[in-house]
Amino acid sequence: MGNDNVSAEYFVTKLSEAKNHFERALDCKHTEFDDLYPYMIEHPQFFWYKRYVAWSELLTVVKLCTELSMEWEQQFSQQQITYIKSRVMSSKVLDFWFETNDSKEHVS
């Protein structure tokens, strides 16, 4: 089959990519999802669905890290860890992921 000894570095990279994807979706920036479904930009539910897909990806990578006993929490603030552990993408997550909407933490 494939490589049976997937490194922790691989999962750290995948976690970083999933976090970046979610943050870009939150900021309504271009992601791979836009390339896969360009026709959806015309539909009002597109941005909600795009965020949902990115959130699901992030939770999946976190779940794999947890199951493999790999550290994932160091890439997130305490508040973000709380959101991830609750697993529900609520308006609170959308509004306060960056902790303050005034900050310039948003992904570039």
Q: Tell me the two tokens of residue 53.
A: 């897909």
Q: How many domains does the structure of the chain reveal?
A: 1
Residue 103 lies in a domain: no
Residue 87 lies in a domain: yes
Angle at 46 between CA 93 and CA 11, to 5 degrees: 55
Residue 1 lies in a domain: no
Distance CA 16, CA 33 (A): 17
Per-residue model confidence (pLDDT) at position 54: 94
Share of the chain above pLDDT 70, in %: 86
Q: Which parts of 1-108 are beta strand (E)?
A: none
Residue 102 lies in a domain: no
The low-confidence residues of the chain, meaning pLDDT below 50, are 1, 103-104
> What sign does the dihedral 80-90-12-69 (CA atoms) show?
positive
